[in-house]
Amino acid sequence: MYHARVRRQDFAYSLPPELIAQTPLAERSASRMLVLDAAGGALTDGNVRDLPSYLRAGDLLVFNDTRVIAARLFGTKPSGGRVEILLERGLAGGAALAQLSASKAIREGLIVTTAGGPVRVLGRDGDLWRIELPQPAVEFFERWGEVPLPPYIHRAADAADRERYQSMFAREPGAVAAPTASLHFDAGLMASLAGRGVERALVTLHVGVGTFQPVRVEDLTEHRMHAEWMSVGAATCEAIARTRAAGGRVVAVGTTVVRALESAAQASGTLAPPGKPPLTPTLAPWSGDTRLFITPGFRFRVSDMLLTNFHLPESTLLMLVCAFSGRSELLAAYAHAVRERYRFFSYGDAMLLTRQAT
C-alpha cells in the first residue's frame, strides 16, 4: 500500500567508514544537529543544545522509555565451538526467543554452556530460535550478558556503555538496541526545554534484533518487517489530544516513537490532521506487536517533527525518514552531512526534521 514505485536501491548513499561514530561524546547534548526544513529543503548546521530554539510552548516531545538489556551472551557447544546468543525477547518462565550464531549449524536439542548455566535450544521460530534458560530471560541476561553494541561499532562493549548506551528515560527493560535519538538528552537540555514550555510524554517500543537486519529484497513490497512489542498508554494519548487542541506540535524523538504512534493511530481509526481539533475517535491506547513498515507515500497522522540520528544506507529506518521529509530532500541532507563530517549512527549526531506536506 505504501511501497509503490520505491526500491531498495533508491535509498543508497556513500558513507566514508571513518564517519561511523565508535564512541559517544563526553556530554550527551554536545552532538551536532542538522536541521532540515522539508518545505523548502533548507539546511541549517547546529547543535542538539539548540533544540529549544526550534520548539515553542505547547509543543510535545514524545520519548521511548524502553531499557536496553545486556542481551549478548557467549557460550560453547559440547564440541567446544563458540556460540553467540542475542536475546530477542523473553517468554513465559525461562523460555526466550534469540538469534544464535556459530561457525557450524545450530540444531534443535543443542545444549550451550554459558557462565550462567546451560541454555537448551528448543527449535526454530521463523528467523529466530526458541531457547530455554536457567531463569527468566531479563534476569538471566542482565546478570550474565553484555551490552549488545551495533555491528558497525568495531570494539567490545565496556563498562561505560552500560550507562551511555541507555537513555535518561529508560525504565521498561526489553530492548536489544537503544532508541538512539534519546541518547542526546541530559538534565540540562530537559531543563531548557521545560523552561520554554515544551511538554513531554512516553511510549514504549522494545527495539529487536531485526533492526540491524538488512533489507534483502529489491522490491520493497516483498519485505516483511520484524515484530516489535510496543505500547502507547492513555496518558500519552491524552497529552497528544491536548497538544492538538491547543495548536501545538507533536515531536517524535526517534523513529521508534514514530512507528509506535503511527501503529496506535492505525489501530484507533481516524485522527485529526495536525493543527486541527481532535476528531472522534481520537488516538486510543494500544499495546501489541507492530510490523509497520513506513516508506514514501505513507500518510503520517501523529508526528509533526522528528529528531533522529543518521541511518544506514538502504535500511528501513532511512526509508522511514525519507517518507517523513521527502527522499530527495533527505538524501541531499545526508550528502551535506558527509561533506561536513557529521558523525553517523548510534553514537553519532542528530537531525531535526519537519514533516513534508501531503
Local confidence band at 223 (pLDDT 50, 70, 90 cut-offs) = confident
Q: Round the average pLDDT of the chain to a whole number and report it.
A: 93
Mean pLDDT to the nearest integer, 20-36: 98
Q: Which of 200-214, 277-291, 335-349 has the lowest mean pLDDT?
A: 277-291
* pLDDT tens-digit readout, 114-126: 999 999 999 999 8
How far apart are alpha carbons 165 and 180 in whole angstroms? Answer: 8
How far apart are alpha carbons 10 and 287 in whole angstroms? Answer: 33
The answer to whether 109 touches 96, Cβ cutoff 8 Å, is no
For residue 137, give the C-alpha cell.
530471560
Local confidence band at 211 (pLDDT 50, 70, 90 cut-offs) = confident
- C-alpha pair distances (Å), 287 with each of 23, 66, 101, 220, 234: 34, 14, 31, 26, 11
* pLDDT tens-digit readout, 49-94: 999 999 999 999 999 999 999 999 999 999 999 999 999 999 999 9
- What is the pLDDT at residue 224? 86
CA dihedral in degrees (240, 284, 305, 272; nearest 10)?
-80
How far apart are alpha carbons 296 and 49 in whole angstroms? Answer: 30
Q: 144-147 long-range CB contacts below 8 Å, 24 or more apart?
A: 144/70, 144/73, 144/114, 144/115, 144/116, 145/69, 145/70, 145/71, 145/72, 145/73, 145/87, 146/70, 146/72, 146/73, 147/68, 147/70, 147/72
Give the residue carrying C-alpha cell 509497520: 292
How far apart are alpha carbons 160 and 291 in whole angstroms? Answer: 32
SS3 of 55, please?
Answer: coil
pLDDT at residue 167 greater than cutoff 90: yes
Q: Is the peptide bond before 52 cis (omega within 30 degrees of 0)?
A: no
